[in-house]
């Protein structure tokens, strides 16, 4: 095993950072105490003297740019910029998303009292500079890249202000993991909770343990860059020929197809220290020395297997590497949750950060620890940072104030735009689409359920769009889960993506126990972020949504938050006796989820979907 302190590269783990702490004992434990509060910084003209009513949250300039608007403590709108710009994971400034949020609330930019940004750019610049210093020799291209990154972050305040145009109020920079933590806690139904944030990296922290309650959000300890579970998983993702910050869940899915393999190799890459902390064998990673290189050649040497070229055939060995990386991540998450439980003993747990999208690790770690209930923010990636920054600022500025009342027992993710029947009809007329409109909703449910039962694939477009990467019945592609062949058909003919990718079932909330082993009663199944075993006797009933290892990633559907989706699944149950449908996001591979009726119609026409249902309109490719 390589000693992480024996090489110049690992000296990074012993650098001081901007708060003057000596970052020692990497080998014994990678946990650090967080720097003292506050975890936000104001940039003029003046800091707010009074608690703001209207806060705009922004995430931008990295990936998944997003805007969220909080009014009186409630998130009234949130949407990723890529839904409008159609650039997947758009990294720009979310101008269209901001315009939508304001329009939705009937407000103007001048009405916003505070803009909260999802990270602290000075700390990020500090990390970039120190990383470069620790890396030592670097290519001119890398040096230029680092210089550009430092400069941009130092000047980000000006860039943001100029992008915001007429807004002249204060800016509040909220630390990245605090934004993630707030996105989970303040959207959860819990009065108090333990919290875990895990992602690639924000400023310095890559993993944060915290506690939240009436006192606000209190950070307990953190693991700092360059040791990162998210970057570990991203390196494996790139090595296996997939796209980082995008395709990590393919690795998770691929892992289910292998017998145990490469355990010793992966244990060398990601060391678990027994106290919940972890460290990477930095010699085999490149994120801390060359930001343009997604993984280091020493990673391939370790596995004795060349990196897979994107699109090349998936060999047995690739499945094995994915299996080992996924199991190791699960072990690491268990260690973190054990540590968090020991420190807090809070029965409720909240999670966010890109790694919290790993629904398999969520399940394994939650079931193995004493936590009783869990909420994972559906917008767990950096898009959710916009929600979190706004919620944090509302609750913590100028001082911690009483939590806003929770309006519903469940967080409502339907925070995006909605287009009414007139707009949909105008779009269909303009496109010359074959369509008819059902008289009432029950008629629509029955007609669509019949199409699904016949084996047709249906685009389902209803109401306000979901925030976050999962389609939850507002912008979904649906099919019957009862025919095994639907999995291949939807992957290859509809979404044009790899055949191994599993699909998730959407199930009537009160019937979920009939099909799935639910584990702890408060397990989180409402947003497709948690994997559970399919009951052995149910596997033949829903073969298209059972993964190779006998699990599924269900979404419980409720009549109050998704009335039309619920109505449709009820109708499907009446026809087939199965209270679930196959649900996948309404997009093609590599594209953002559809937003407007035009996006939906074009995606429908481009793929081999059989029907498109928008509001009560049914669109087909031939005369109805």
Supply the minimum distance, in Å, between the C-beta of residue 445 and Fe ion: 39
CB-nearer residue toward Fe ion: 199 or 615: 199
As a whole number of angstroms, the distance between CA 225 and CA 265 comes to 22
CB atoms within 10 A of CB 300: 15
As given in the structure block, the two tokens for residue 161 are 């202000």
Least Cβ distance, residue 248 to Fe ion (angstroms): 13
Query: Among residues 230 and 567, whose Cβ is nearest to Fe ion?
Result: 230
The residue among 202 and 459 lying less far from Fe ion, judged by its C-beta, is 202
Residues 6+ apart with CB under 8 A from 32: 21, 23, 221, 222, 223, 224
Q: How far is the CB of 353 from Fe ion (least distance, A)?
A: 5
- Give the C-alpha separation, 434 to 456, whole Å: 17
C-beta of 199 vs 330, nearer to Fe ion: 199
| Nearer CB in complex with Fe ion: 199/599 | 199
Considering only CA atoms, which of 103, 333, 348, 378 is closest in space to residue 207? Answer: 333
Q: How far apart are CA 77 and CA 99, in angstroms?
A: 11
Sites of contact with Fe ion (CB under 5 A)? 199, 382
Pick 197 or 490: Cβ nearer Fe ion = 197
Q: Which helix (H) or strand (E) holds 333?
A: helix 316-344
HEC states along 393-451? Answer: HHHHCCCCCCCCCCCCCCCCCECCCCCCHHHHHHHHHHHCCEEEECCCHHHHHHHHHHH
Q: Which is nearest to 175 in space by CA: 3, 73, 36, 288?
A: 36
- Of the candidates 21, 38, 6, 382, the one whose C-alpha atom is nearest the C-alpha of residue 224 is 21
Q: What is the DSSP string of 164-200?
A: HTT--S-EEEEPHHHHHHHHHHTTSS-SSEEEEEE-S
With H, G, I as helix, E, B as strand and everything else as coil, classify residue 59.
strand
Residue nearest to Fe ion (CB): 199
**606-610 contact pairs (CB < 8 A, 24+):** 607/493, 607/494, 607/495, 607/496, 608/457, 608/493, 608/494, 609/457, 609/458, 609/459, 609/477, 609/494, 610/451, 610/456, 610/457, 610/458
**Rounded Cα distance, 200 and 74, in Å:** 28
Cβ closer to Fe ion: 382 or 591?
Answer: 382
Residue closer to Fe ion, measured from CB, 388 or 567: 388
Say whether 296 is catalytic: no
Kindly tell me the number of DSSP H helices and DSSP E strands found in the chain: 19, 24
Burial of 543 from C-beta contacts in 10 A (0-12 / 13-18 / 19+): middle
Considering 63, 177, 296, 319, which one is annotated as catalytic? 63
Catalytic residues: 63
């Amino acid at each position: 095993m390589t000693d992480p302190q024996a090489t110049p590269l690992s000296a990074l783990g012993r650098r001081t950072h901007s708060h003057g702490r000596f970052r020692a004992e990497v080998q014994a434990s990678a946990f650090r105490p967080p720097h003292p509060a506050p975890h936000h910084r104001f940039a003029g003209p003046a800091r707010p003297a009074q608690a703001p009513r209207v806060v705009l949250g922004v995430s931008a300039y990295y990936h998944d740019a997003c805007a969220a608007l909080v009014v009186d403590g409630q998130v009234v709108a949130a949407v990723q910029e890529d839904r409008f710009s159609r650039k997947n994971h758009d990294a720009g400034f979310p101008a269209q998303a901001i315009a939508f949020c304001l329009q939705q609330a009937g407000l103007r930019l001048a009405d916003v009292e505070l803009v909260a940004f999802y990270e602290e750019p000075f700390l990020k610049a500090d990390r970039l500079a120190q990383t470069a210093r620790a890396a030592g020799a670097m290519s001119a291209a890398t040096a230029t890249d680092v210089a550009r990154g430092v400069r941009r972050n130092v000047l980000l305040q000006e860039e943001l202000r100029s992008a915001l145009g007429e807004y002249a109020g204060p800016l509040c920079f909220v630390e990245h993991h605090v934004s993630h933590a707030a996105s989970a806690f303040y959207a959860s139904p819990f009065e108090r909770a333990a919290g875990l944030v895990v992602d690639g990296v924000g400023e310095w922290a890559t993993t944060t343990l915290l506690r939240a309650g009436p006192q606000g959000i209190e950070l307990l300890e953190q693991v700092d860059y360059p040791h990162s579970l998210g970057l570990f998983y991203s390196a494996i993702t790139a090595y296996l020929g997939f796209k980082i910050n995008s395709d990590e869940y393919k690795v998770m899915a691929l892992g289910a197809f292998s017998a145990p393999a490469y355990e010793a190799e992966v244990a060398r890459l990601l060391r678990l220290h027994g106290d919940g902390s972890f460290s990477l064998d930095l010699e085999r990673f490149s994120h801390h020395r060359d930001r343009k290189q997604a993984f280091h050649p020493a990673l391939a040497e370790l596995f004795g297997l060349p990196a897979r070229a994107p699109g090349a055939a998936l060999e047995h060995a690739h499945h094995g590497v994915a299996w080992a990386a996924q199991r190791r991540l699960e072990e690491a998450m268990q260690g973190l949750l054990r540590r968090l439980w020991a420190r807090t003993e809070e029965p409720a747990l909240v999670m966010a950060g890109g790694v919290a999208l790993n629904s398999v690790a969520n399940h394994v770690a939650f079931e193995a620890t004493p936590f009783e209930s869990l909420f994972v923010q559906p917008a767990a990636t950096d898009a959710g940072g916009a929600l979190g920054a706004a919620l944090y600022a509302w609750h913590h500025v100028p001082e911690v104030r009483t939590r806003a009342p929770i309006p519903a027992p469940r967080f409502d993710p339907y925070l995006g735009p909605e287009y009414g029947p007139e707009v949909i009809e105008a779009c269909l007329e303009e496109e010359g689409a074959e369509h008819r409109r059902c008289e009432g909703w029950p008629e629509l449910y029955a007609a669509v359920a019949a199409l699904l039962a016949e084996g047709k694939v249906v685009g389902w477009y209803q109401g306000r769009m979901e925030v976050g990467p999962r389609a939850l019945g507002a912008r979904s592609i649906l099919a019957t889960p009862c025919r095994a062949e639907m999995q291949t058909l939807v992957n290859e003919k509809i979404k044009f993506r790899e055949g191994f990718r599993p699909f998730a079932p959407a199930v009537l909330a009160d019937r979920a126990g009939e099909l799935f082993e639910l584990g702890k009663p408060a397990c989180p199944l409402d947003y497709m972020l948690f994997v559970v075993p399919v009951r052995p006797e149910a596997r033949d009933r829903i073969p298209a949504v059972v993964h190779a290892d006998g699990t599924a990633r269900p979404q419980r559907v409720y009549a109050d938050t998704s009335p039309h989706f619920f109505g449709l699944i009820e109708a499907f149950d009446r026809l087939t006796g199965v209270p679930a449908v196959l649900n996948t996001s309404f997009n093609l591979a590599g594209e953002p989820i559809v937003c407007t009726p035009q996006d939906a119609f074009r995606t429908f026409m481009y793929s081999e979907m059989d029907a498109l249902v928008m509001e009560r309109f049914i669109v087909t490719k031939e005369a109805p």
